[in-house]
A and B are shown apart, each in its own frame.
Chain A
Amino acid sequence: GAVVSQHPSWVICKSGTSVKIECRSLDFQATTMFWYRQFPKQSLMLMATSNEGSKATYEQGVEKDKFLINHASLTLSTLTVTSAHPEDSSFYICSARDTQVDYEQYFGPGTRLTVT
């Protein structure tokens, strides 16, 4: 149990376009989902915390108008990278918190974004 999926697993897009990444909890309900970004050889960096039915909380330095987060249901959160630039190329990982167990966070497999 406790499986989190992400789609797509990798994507290549042109500079200026937008890309949507989906994060789904497959067998549990996730009130809270987290979006991370990881550059090569660096640790995870939390971008935002997404709560079902409310606005996401963004970390300092993360542009909320560029990284649009929607958490419309207890099993789905989406991250849209708008007007992507090459510097947005990174590994984007979501995690979901099981509402029944406060501390458990389950990670999705990640999405590799390359902006050309």
Chain B
Amino acid sequence: GQNIDQPTEMTATEGAIVQINCTYQTSGFNGLFWYQQHAGEAPTFLSYNVLDGLEEKGRFSSFLSRSKGYSYLLLKELQMKDSASYLCAAMDSNYQLIWGAGTKLIIKP
């Protein structure tokens, strides 16, 4: 079956760095997405990885290892506004997104 695993909740301190891990199993693979979702709002796109390696975009970076079925989202210089749920989603061979349950990130001052 198809499956996405990510931690349910993480806590970090303002100004610090946090890494949110995601492992996936899908029928075929067309890339790995990370979305940010604030409470009561729709998800917003953060990153897309289809090749192995690290993609950096400002304070956020995303890493993919296709052989390990593994990705992580790295958030640097954490700000209070980064408190949100972070959703990992893998795209299968039919270009359908398989969603993880999301990681709730709590930022403390």
A residues whose Cβ falls under 8 Å from a Cβ of B:
34, 42-46, 49, 91, 93, 97, 102-110, 112
**Chain A residue with the shortest CB-CB distance to B85:** A43
Q: List 11 A-B contacts (CB under 8 A).
A: A44-B99, A45-B99, A46-B99, A49-B96, A97-B95, A107-B42, A107-B44, A108-B42, A109-B41, A110-B41, A110-B42
Q: Which residues of B contact A49 (CB under 8 A)?
A: 96
CB-CB contacts below 8 Å: B79-109 with A? 87, 91, 95-97, 99-102
Contact B87 A44 (CB under 8 A): yes
Contact B100 A103 (CB under 8 A): no
Contact code string B8-40 (vs A, CB < 8 Å = 1, else 0) = 000000000000000000000011010100001
Q: Which residues of A contact B35 (CB under 8 A)?
A: 107
Answer whether A42 and B101 are a contact pair too, CB < 8 Å, given A93-B42, A107-B44, A109-B41: yes
Contact A103 B99 (CB under 8 A): no
Q: For chain B, what secondary structure do more than half of its interface residues adopt (helix, strand, loop), or is it mixed? A: loop
Q: Bound complex: CA of A44 vs CA of B99, how far in Å?
A: 7
Q: Bound complex: CA of A85 vs CA of B33, how far in Å?
A: 34
Distance from A78 Cβ to chain B, minimum over Cβ atoms (Å): 17
Contact A105 B42 (CB under 8 A): no
Q: Bound complex: CA of A43 vs CA of B97, how far in Å?
A: 13
Q: Which residues of A contact B31 (CB under 8 A)?
A: 103
Answer whether A109 and B99 are a contact pair too, CB < 8 Å, given A44-B87, A103-B30, A103-B31: no
Contact A43 B42 (CB under 8 A): no
Distance from A112 Cβ to chain B, minimum over Cβ atoms (Å): 8
Q: Which residues of A contact B101 (CB under 8 A)?
A: 42-43
Contact code string B29-60 (vs A, CB < 8 Å = 1, else 0) = 01101010000111111001010000000000
**Chain A residue with the shortest CB-CB distance to B95:** A102
Q: Which residues of A contact B96 (CB under 8 A)?
A: 46, 49
Q: Bound complex: CA of A107 vs CA of B46, how far in Å?
A: 12
- Given A43-B99, A103-B91, A109-B41, 19 other A-B residues pairs in contact with their CB atoms under 8 A: A34-B97, A43-B87, A43-B100, A43-B101, A45-B99, A46-B99, A91-B40, A102-B30, A102-B95, A103-B31, A103-B33, A103-B50, A104-B45, A105-B45, A107-B42, A107-B45, A108-B42, A110-B41, A110-B42
